[in-house]
Amino acid sequence: MNAPAHRPEWDAIFRSLQAWRKNLSEKDPSVSTVAEIYSKDSWAVLVSTILSLRTKDEVTLVVSKKLLDKAGSPAELAAMKEEKLAGLVYPAGFYRNKAASLKKIAKILIEQYNGKVPADMDALLALPGVGRKTANLVLIEAFGKPGVCVDIHVHRITNRAGWLRTKTPDDTEMILREILPRKYWKSINAMLVLYGQKLCRPISPFCSSCVIKNHCARIDVGTSR
């Protein structure tokens, strides 16, 4: 993994992205919305983040609300039969696997953390089904801690733009921790997720409408619109 040869103009990049974001009618990504609805409750954020993996935002939001209305705490979820839990999680992607992971997580939180979600990276990573993206998002959204949450959109756009050169999202996170000003750590995920969904698509991105094209090297971009 490599940092860029030149230093990205982060302030200019984020000014352009923020101006673009203000003109959108869409809400924040689903996990951020859930965090607001449930007043930054760490259990709600953890549940919605796990449900969001490989699931569309609109589905994540509906399923998260449906589940949290029935299981607003680890104790309530742990008491639920797994088949009922799976039914509440449907149609999130891999819903049976997620139901099983949530059941295990609830038990661990009850037994080891007095029913509370730990505000610690290593402790979160030790939970079933929790990777760095999930752990960072929980720390950011629920606890207000600094973190760099990298999903497929952040990984694709930062590499496409030439701001870094990495092979995996985890590698991207490590480089961004070195080169991205701390003031942008919390906001980069929400900003680039929306940008990746709307404009900087995996295939045939809307380069003609890009607000950061002066900061993008268009690496590996073939067809664009």
- Active-site residue set: 133, 151
Q: How far is CA 26 from CA 46, 51, 122, 151, in A?
A: 23, 20, 34, 19
SS3 42: helix
Q: How many C-beta atoms lie closer than 10 Å to residue 54's C-beta?
A: 10
Max distance between CA atoms of the chain, in angstroms, equals 54
As to burial, measured by CB atoms within 10 angstroms (0-12 exposed, 13-18 middle, 19+ buried), residue 100 is middle
Angle at 11 between CA 218 and CA 174, to 5 degrees: 65
